[in-house]
Amino acid sequence: MKEKSLTIPIIIVSIAIPLAVAVILLVPNVRINFGFDTHSLPLFHALLNSTTAIMLLASLYFIKNKQIKAHKTANLIAVALSTIFLVSYVIYHSSNPTVKFGDLNHDGILSDDEKLQAGSLRYIYYFVLISHIILSGVIVPLVLFTLQRAFQEKFDKHRKLARITWPIWFYVAVTGVVVYLMISKYY
């Protein structure tokens, strides 16, 4: 039986997700009321990212110790957590204005005084945030292609791609928490 390639659907999803997120972030005046308070979602996102990072560490431990079933389970949990994160992230950002790092009075405008008070930490924050955002877009196809190769039992190709996917995915999960910790006082 011939294996079905998921390359086209993976490419479509990998393009659609960043485009949808970009539209939500770049059209700030369109806000959706979901009928519930979404203000606590950033903390939930940090918890999801933390747990994803833990699952990725567990996955690495399991594969290094040849515990294949546990490795697979940890990765599928990480994928599920990342999917929940993505849905929740879209809900939050489509229902709340963008929070600016350094905006102490929460008016959505960064005054010169607020910039001065935030100091050089702003540059560190934006470096972490920008690298996190870019790699968040990169990780989607990497995870999906890595999973596809595992499910198709193409373990040599899976292993090769996983060596690239794992550190990027781990970085995205950890920096998601770092971004939250750095900006949480401005919510």
Does 30 fall in a domain?
A: no
Does 15 fall in a domain?
A: no
Does 24 fall in a domain?
A: no
pLDDT of residue 134: 94
- Average predicted confidence (pLDDT) for the chain: 92
Does 178 fall in a domain?
A: yes
Whole-number Å distance between alpha carbons of 44 and 20: 21
Q: Rounded mean pLDDT of 124-147?
A: 96
Whole-number Å distance between alpha carbons of 82 and 129: 17
Does 147 fall in a domain?
A: yes
pLDDT tens digits, residue range 78-93? 999 999 999 999 999 8
Q: State both tokens at 98.
A: 């963008």
The answer to whether the beta carbons of residues 174 and 90 sit under 8 Å apart is no
The answer to whether the beta carbons of residues 102 and 80 sit under 8 Å apart is no
pLDDT of residue 177: 98
123 — pLDDT class (breaks 50, 70, 90): very high
Does 61 fall in a domain?
A: yes
Does 91 fall in a domain?
A: yes
97 — pLDDT class (breaks 50, 70, 90): confident
**pTM score:** 0.90
Q: By residue range, what is the domain housing residue 159?
A: 39-186
CA angle, residues 6, 151, 9, in degrees to nearest 5: 15
Does 20 fall in a domain?
A: no
Asked whether residue 64 carries a pLDDT value surpassing 90, the answer given is yes
Task: Give the whole-number percent of the chain exceeding pLDDT 90.
Answer: 75
Q: Which residues contact 176 (CB under 8 A, 6 or more apart)?
A: 45, 46, 49, 85, 132
pLDDT of residue 3: 59
**Total structural domains within the chain:** 1
CA angle, residues 18, 99, 86, in degrees to nearest 5: 30
